[in-house]
Structure 1
């Protein structure tokens, strides 16, 4: 750090990470490297299955392929830097690198919120308005929903990153494994009430707003399913939504816990564990949740493997 006018000018931050023990860090390196490889491989596989299987060329799998791309981007925003820090004595990240990482994580996270909402809207139309489904969920509408999701994520991320890095910092030791807003706010010398208010208001619109849209869609879906007289028909109809509900529960449960609490409860050990859930574990589990419970996806993957073996 450099000194200017009795204030510390921070040029880099130190990421505390998950452990101080070098032996444990070596073990964690192997674990998270395996998780990263599995996550990227599983999500790439879903993207390839959608790309090369004409039977999957419908809105549900279009959103799933985009969601898989986001999962790859999301975990890439945090894990590679964490892996390098496991093997490094100086676990530093430049101020600009920290800002870029924060922007990317919030960009991909915010975009995922509304793509999950778009996926719920797609299931609502498929189940509640099957005769109009093709007309409603056409290529233009699907593309527009993806674009809007990215715009919301980009604006939300830009606001938080700019406000956070306009603060003055008294310390450069981040009690986390990546540059997230709450642990960085802990380092500020100035009052952060504006930043905290923005997290509640802006992030509330992104996280809670998209969650409400998902719940409205599923309320109508469940109401429609309950009107189906056949027990087999109800089970078959609801099975198309269970994978999405599992992903929504994992993602929103951990996200709401992390960002909708007072500043006094930030920086605790469980925060890092919760962050691992939505930035690392959820992207790894999503391909398994969607593919193992989906007959069409499994069939498409078998066809791709068969073609690869033949070639």
Structure 2
């Protein structure tokens, strides 16, 4: 290949969203409120699970791991989004850009694997209740949680490192953070091979994991319909409803962006879809896992009583 006219840019420009007039401060304040609530909500779940012995179960351990992941996931892109909303097009060094690309995809793929582990936990709890606590020991919980992080950060090395080796002739990234597709559009060379490799890595990771989750829920469904009473069936489904909602949100948006054809996306649609899995899913997760969860509400009451007792003590 001829690289004579190819230049290596040291700085990219994040285009962000084109918002002007009175909508700009409103958009900034709205995103800031969502960002702060996301941080507070996920920290709340982490602290509550640690503080209340009634939540010392495998399910809530994995929920707290998910909240820890979401805390860092939203911190990867939200500050950049807020900066572009406040200042418009924003420069970002190539090193920071590629770090953001790697961390964002590492956390995203870690969440993908973690949702699979959480589905496995629900499968064992419902389909093998007598052996559940023996099977899902504390040691296995820690091993599974650690394995999701190792797998996620390892898999993301491939697309991130390949993208970082490309020569870039253009600087303006048509996004509010550094993502694969917008960066590939700036390359000086044909990127069709890179697109295929990225699609294979991300597609296999997300696709296989999604099929794994569907298979586990198929087993759960078969076990639930065999339960003797409607009350027991409703209770079993209620323990899975929050997880199924999160899976639906995560995979619908991820498949739309990374598996669907880019040609079917209107101009700017990719940025809007990215808001779903990069901002709104971490924002909704604390609500989904607490709003209709009786055990979490009871734990909140117990912790509140303990705090009041401590404060009243002489």
Q: TM-score, normalised by structure 1?
A: 0.95
CA distance in 1, matches of 2:117, 2:98: 29
Return 275-284 or 207-216, whichever deviates more: 207-216
Corresponding residue number in structure 2 for 1:91: 90
Aligned residues: 308
The answer as to 2:289 corresponding to 1:286 is no
Is 1:102 the equivalent of 2:113? no
Deviations 1:98-149 (CA, angstroms, capped at 9, x unpaired): 1111111101100001111000000000000001101110011111111111
Distance 1:7 1:231 in 2: 67
Offset of residue 237 of structure 1: 1.1
State the 1:27 CA deviation: 1.6
Q: Distance in 1 between matches of 2:301 and 2:205?
A: 37
Task: Decide whether the 8 Å contact of 1:124 with 1:217 is kept in 2.
Answer: yes
The answer (yes or no) to whether the contact 1:183–1:266 under 8 Å persists in 2 is no
Q: Report the counterpart of residue 120 of structure 1 in structure 2.
A: 119
Correspondence list, 1:188-203, <5 A: 188-203=187-202
Query: For residues 180 and 21 of structure 2, what CA distance do their matches in structure 1 show?
Result: 27
Does the 8 A contact of 1:182 with 1:267 survive in 2? no
Report the CA distance between 1:182 and its aligned residue: 0.9
Question: Structure 1: where are the runs of 5+ without partners?
Answer: none
**Secondary structure of the equivalent of 1:179?**
coil
2:38 is the counterpart of 1:48 = no
Partner of 1:32: 31
Contact 2:15 2:84 in 1 (8 A): no
* CA gap 1:166/1:263 in 2 versus in 1, 3 angstroms: farther
Provide the rounded CA distance (Å) in 1 between the counterparts of 2:296 and 2:289.
Answer: 8
C-alpha distance in 2 between matches for 1:197 and 1:23:
42
Mapped contact 2:176–2:271 kept (Cα < 8 A):
yes
1:178-193 maps to which residues of 2 (within 5 A)? 178-193=177-192
2:158 equivalent to 1:159: yes
Alignment of 1:1-311 (within 5 A): 6-21=5-20, 23-265=22-264, 268-310=267-309, 311=311
In the alignment, the residues of structure 2 paired with residue 221 and residue 290 of structure 1 have an alpha-carbon distance, to the nearest angstrom, of: 20
- Cα distance per residue 1:172-204 (max 9 Å; x no partner): 111111111011111112111222112221112
Q: Secondary structure at the match of 1:7?
A: coil
Query: Per-residue deviation at 1:88?
Result: 2.1
What are structure 2's unaligned runs of at least 5 residues?
A: none
Residue 266 of structure 1: how far off its partner (Å)? 6.1
Instruction: Pick which of 212-221 and 191-200 moved more.
Output: 191-200
User: How much has 1:265 moved relative to structure 2?
Assistant: 4.6
TM-score, normalised by the number of residues in structure 2:
0.94
Q: Is the 8 A contact 1:186 1:267 kept in 2?
A: no
Task: Tell me if the contact between 2:58 and 2:136 (Cα under 8 Å) persists in the aligned partners.
Answer: yes
